[in-house]
A and B are shown apart, each in its own frame.
Chain A
């Protein structure tokens, strides 16, 4: 029951590790960005889960509902999502420029190219 009750947090840790591992292990610059994205998304789940109140509804005024989820973490994570989008956009545009300058987006080939000249 304990493990099931913490289901969201297990997902958070799993996604975080998947993202982090992808980020570290892949040599392809786009795959690294994908890893970074998964890594950041895992944090969104952490925040959204912590705002949930058992049996609570959406935080809007409705007749007959007294319990509602904490809206603050959700709002915070809206900001973090925007930041994530900006990071991804900037990262991908850098990858495009790197592709134009080096003709490749593989890390080892870029390093070889740098050493050659």
Chain B
């Protein structure tokens, strides 16, 4: 049983998906999704403990030895990402019940959970696999189900948003396959560990830099790196609240993980940074993303859209950490993957509660909501503090390590920009707080709205408390992220 945990990690949600589609009853499908996602979380925790205790786990799928068979290879980096993804799924599925009943037609609820489970399967698969073509297959499983999930949104703009994402996402995925094909032509292998041995021998050819370029663009499209982020704001704004919370906190993180895996494990830091000078591309784009998208977020009137632009800026922080290429920078980047998943997940879940009660997340429609939905808005405010990076929240820990990494490199202007953009986050979170707490409710007092249902509030608050817990005691997350960063740079655990 324990020996087969790696494959069960993917199999459990994969088997839950058709079961959800078959039962046809929304509640039964939901129950199965909850069981599957909590089982995934349990497996992810087991795998992380095993990896931390005994080092890298290699699992041969179907008993075929690598490099011919598909290998699942779990080290600290992907064990940590597996934990992020399955933890967010485990928190969001209980929350989904009420939210989805409100936002999705009853006849489609069971199918919704089927697509949700497929998306989870894909994301876990990308993370766990040690085979580059398998990455593409799982990428498409997660993307196709994500397009469907976004299209379920109530507004008809959800359809065009999903369509736009489908086009851009497919182009990105196809670029990734081209890159993989070129690597295969030169080396004759698809196994990541094998590739990392064989690639340096052929890296002087012209094919490998071209493969590198295709992969960079393809993955950047998937992780919504500025200026390839155009699909993201609409997709996040018009998707159902549950979907936004899940995709915002996991899909882009997994794409960032792909970036790490390809450029550090497969190509190796020496080739990526010294020969291809990846940092010269990523750094300016990350800085522009952080600044411009924070600026755009300030002027948004739809709060979900505001958070979507803020997500693009936050992805900029992760890429900034990675482009430093140092242990501290990489630690900050990996740490922010975890921390951003928690804060953005919590923020979008709080917005989902607002959506449930008043059916809109426009900044004018939340006036006076601080008194009407005190728990929801308090969750939003604490999540917002975390986004800004106020001490005692996880956001502070990420920014602390990012600034440290920047100062280590002597990049004073970058450190200053991180502080400046945190102040910009104060502005946009402040706009929401001002509307919710310093304005009167526009409607009549007779018509009481009340708080969101407990089934939605509890998961939201669980994430908020996690934001505070890991903000106060960051030894676990920083320890794992640090050891992941060192193993990516080839410095031992």
Contacts and interface: CB of A to CB of B under 8 A. Distances in A.
Contacts of A40: 170, 174
B167 interface: yes
Given A39-B171, A43-B177, A102-B156, A87 B140 contact: yes
Contacts of A79: 133, 137
Interface residues on B, range: 20 to 34
Nearest to A110: B160
A83 B147 contact: no
Contacts of A43: 174, 177-178, 181
B61 interface: no
B144 A76 contact: no
A23 B171 CA distance: 9
Given A36-B171, A43-B177, A46-B178, A87 B156 contact: no
A98 B151 CA distance: 10
A50 B177 CA distance: 13
Contacts of B388: none
Interface in B362-421: none
Nearest to B157: A114
Contact residues of B: prevailing secondary structure: helix
A101 interface: yes
Contact of B133 (A32, A76, A86): A76
A103 B482 CA distance: 54
Contact of A87 (B166, B178, B181): B166
B277 to A, nearest CB: 26
A33 to B, nearest CB: 8
B441 interface: no
B181 A91 contact: no
A39 B133 CA distance: 18
Contact of B166 (A73, A80, A91, A102): A91
B160 A87 contact: no
B159 interface: yes
Given A90-B147, A94-B159, A114-B157, A80 B171 contact: no
A68 interface: no
A36 B163 contact: no
The CB with the most chain A CB atoms within 10 A, among B147, B162, B163, is that of B163
A39 B169 CA distance: 13
Contacts, number: 66
A95 interface: yes
B15 interface: no
B184 A36 contact: no
Nearest to A94: B163
A77 B3 CA distance: 31
Given A43-B177, A46-B181, A50-B184, A95 B163 contact: yes
B291 to A, nearest CB: 27
A80 B181 CA distance: 12
A101 B133 contact: no
A89 B159 CA distance: 15
Interface in A23-64: 23, 29, 32, 36, 39-40, 43, 46-47, 50
B147 A94 contact: yes
Interface in B163-193: 163, 166-167, 170-171, 173-174, 177-178, 181, 184-185
Contacts of A91: 163, 166-167, 170
Nearest to A79: B137
Contacts of A80: 136, 177
A90 B144 contact: yes
B184 A87 contact: no
Contacts of B137: 79, 83
Given A83-B140, A97-B151, A36 B159 contact: no
B167 A86 contact: no
7 contacts: A39-B174, A43-B178, A86-B144, A87-B170, A94-B147, A94-B162, A94-B163
Top-4 shortest CB links A-B: A101-B156, A83-B140, A94-B163, A98-B159
Interface of A: 20, 23, 29, 32, 36, 39-40, 43, 46-47, 50, 73, 76, 79-80, 83, 86-87, 90-91, 94-95, 97-98, 101-102, 110, 114
Interface of B: 133, 136-137, 140, 144, 147-148, 151, 156-157, 159-160, 162-163, 166-167, 170-171, 173-174, 177-178, 181, 184-185
Given A46-B178, A50-B184, A90-B144, 7 more contacts: A20-B171, A23-B171, A40-B174, A73-B184, A83-B144, A86-B140, A94-B163
